[in-house]
Structure 1
Amino acid sequence: MTSEHDRTPSVQDDFLQTLVRGKTTVNVFLVKGIKLSGQLAAYDQFVVLLESGTGVQLIFKHAISTVLPVDGRGQAREPTAVPVSGDKPNHARGRVR
């Protein structure tokens, strides 16, 4: 039996698969601030494998903050709709009594 989650493509999986297939060099930033660089070799639900000149590292996804392609290009998507009005938000302050 499959759940709704199993049938719906994941943005995360799509992004990681694109990086793996393209053998794209990435910077992986961990939540502790450490930056790792290399190519994503594989991934699953819990981990990613990062290959670099020093070997292969198994990185738990819960420790990852950001994955950034070094060339600045990730998976191409349609631009997100933005409001066309040039109105700025009203930041009027009220007096505190």
Structure 2
Amino acid sequence: MIAAGSVLSGCVASTAPYGSAAIVSEPAGAKVVNLKDGEEIGTTPLNYTLETEDGKAEYIQLLLTSPGYADQVTSFWINPRYDSAEDAEENPQAVKVNMKKAQ
């Protein structure tokens, strides 16, 4: 008797827990707030490193503010691909935000 098997293709969660994004703005020096928890995480340019427990990609929403410029929300996915925070920080995905002058 021959057993038939099936192969499923698709997205599989990574087991690597770390991902990173290099966030830059034009102009530089914008305050960055994580909208998930309201925490101010720094000013641009900055590296944002994510550690996950399950290795799944996480949707990130950030608010950037700078005097004289309109507030800007940017969103992106961070995919954890690295086994250490150091490796993730050495290979961040680029996120660039062009701020618009306030009117």
**TM-score (normalizing by structure 1):** 0.31
From the two aligned structures, give the one with the greater helix fraction: 1
Looking at CA atoms only, which structure, 1 or 2, has the larger radius of gyration? 1
Q: Which has the higher strand share?
A: 2
* Higher RCO (C-alpha under 8 Å, 6+ residues apart): 2
Q: Scaled by the length of structure 2, what TM-score is found? A: 0.30
